[in-house]
Amino acid sequence: MHIKKPTVIKPAGNKPKLIEEFFGRVNSKTETVSIAKMMSPGGWLEPGQTPEFDEYTLVLKGSLQVETKSGVTEVKAGEAVLAFRGEWVRYSTPEAEGAEYVAVCIPAFSPDNVHRDE
C-alpha cells in the first residue's frame, strides 16, 4: 500500500495542532496500527487520556512534555517515549518552540479507544 498523502485529523487541546495521519482508521482503514505526524505549537495542552493502545512517540523537533501518574518527562528532539495502554497520560508542548513528532499507536487510535478526561 502506497500512501501518497495523509489525512488531517481534528485535534484535541487548547490550541490548534496539526495531525497528519498516514496509516490508521481514517486514511488507510488500518485498525492494527496508526502512524501520524504531529505539529504542536508552544503552550499546547491536551486533556489527559487512558487509551486502549500503546503509543510510541519519536520527537523530531522541539520538545514534548509527557505527564503520567508517576511523573513528568521532557522528551527532546531525537528522543522517544512509550506510553502503555491503560496508563493515564497527558501530552503538552509548554516550550515556545512547540514540537514536531511522530506517534505510532498499536492498535490504531480512534476517538472511541482514547478515553479522554472530561
Q: CA angle, corner 37, sides to 36 and 38, nearest 5?
A: 115
Residue 28, by phi and psi: left (phi above 0), alpha (psi -120 to 50) or beta?
alpha
Q: Looking at the predicted structure, is the pLDDT value of residue 112 above 90?
A: yes
Taking only the tens place, the pLDDT of each residue in 19-35 is 999 999 999 999 999 99
Taking only the tens place, the pLDDT of each residue in 24-79 is 999 999 999 999 999 999 999 999 999 999 999 999 999 999 999 999 999 999 99
Residues with Cβ < 8 Å from 7, sequence gap 6 or more?
A: 20, 21, 26, 27
pTM of the model: 0.95
Q: Which domains does the chain possess?
A: 7-114 (2.60.120.10)
Location of C-alpha cell 505526524: 37
